[in-house]
Amino acid sequence: MQRCHGDPDCKGKNLPGELSCLAHAREATRSRYLDALVPGADVNHDGTVFDDPLLTALLRSLQDTSGRASFGTCSFRGTQFPDGASFEDALFGQKAVFDGASFGVVSFDGAAFREDAWFEGARFARDASFFGATFAKESQFSRASFECPIHFSSTSFV
Ligand SMILES: [Zn+2]
């Protein structure tokens, strides 16, 4: 697999056909990628480090007509969200994989997982909220570590 050229230590998955991950892509490359996304698109950002503006830009590119971010199959294996990450009201229409991801403050309030949601080995460091989130299929939190308050109120699991 081609490694991200943006930083020798980066483990970020390269954008399709590119030599860098989303975080290290040049401005024009990043814009081209984000502009091509549509609601329900599949995304793979394994290992990428997302700061708040980058996540906001990704979510905005996936917004459907109701204003919520809509993912197809998404993969965030080992992805890092060191800042606040808000996936509020996001729709995960296909399998969502956050295995080994690490979060600072994160909110999945109101998020809907229509298919399997995997958080195996994910690390929640500061504050994690799943208020009103719905998991329609299998959800997997084994080996996840919660070093912070986690809020599952009104969350529905199958
Ligand atoms: Zn990178």
* Residue extents of the structural domains in the chain: 42-151
For residue 152, pLDDT beyond 90: no
Share of the chain above pLDDT 90, in %: 83
Mean pLDDT of 39-61: 97
What DSSP element (H or E) covers 35?
Answer: helix 27-36
Q: Which of 68, 77, 78, 81 is nearest to 40 (CA)?
A: 68
Cross-strand bridge partners of residue 111: none
49 secondary structure, DSSP code: B
Share of the chain above pLDDT 70, in %: 99
Q: How high does pLDDT run on average in the chain?
A: 95
State residue 33's pLDDT score.
98
Rounded to the nearest whole angstrom, what is the distance from the C-alpha of residue 1 to the centroid of ligand 1?
Answer: 13
Dihedral Cα 107, 109, 111, 117, nearest 10 deg? 60
Structural tokens at position 39: 């609601």
State residue 154's pLDDT score.
84
Rounded to the nearest whole angstrom, what is the distance from the C-alpha of residue 48 to the centroid of ligand 1?
Answer: 6
SS3 at position 91 = strand
Mean pLDDT of 4-16: 94
Rounded to the nearest whole angstrom, what is the distance from the C-alpha of residue 82 to the centroid of ligand 1?
Answer: 15
Rounded to the nearest whole angstrom, what is the distance from the C-alpha of residue 28 to the centroid of ligand 1?
Answer: 15
Global pTM value: 0.94
Helices then strands, each counted (H, E), the chain: 2, 14
The predicted-structure confidence for 108-117, as pLDDT tens digits, reads as follows 999 999 999 9
Rounded to the nearest whole angstrom, what is the distance from the C-alpha of residue 25 to the centroid of ligand 1?
Answer: 7
Query: What would you report as the CA-atom Rg of the chain, rounded to the nearest whole angstrom?
Result: 15
State residue 1's pLDDT score.
62
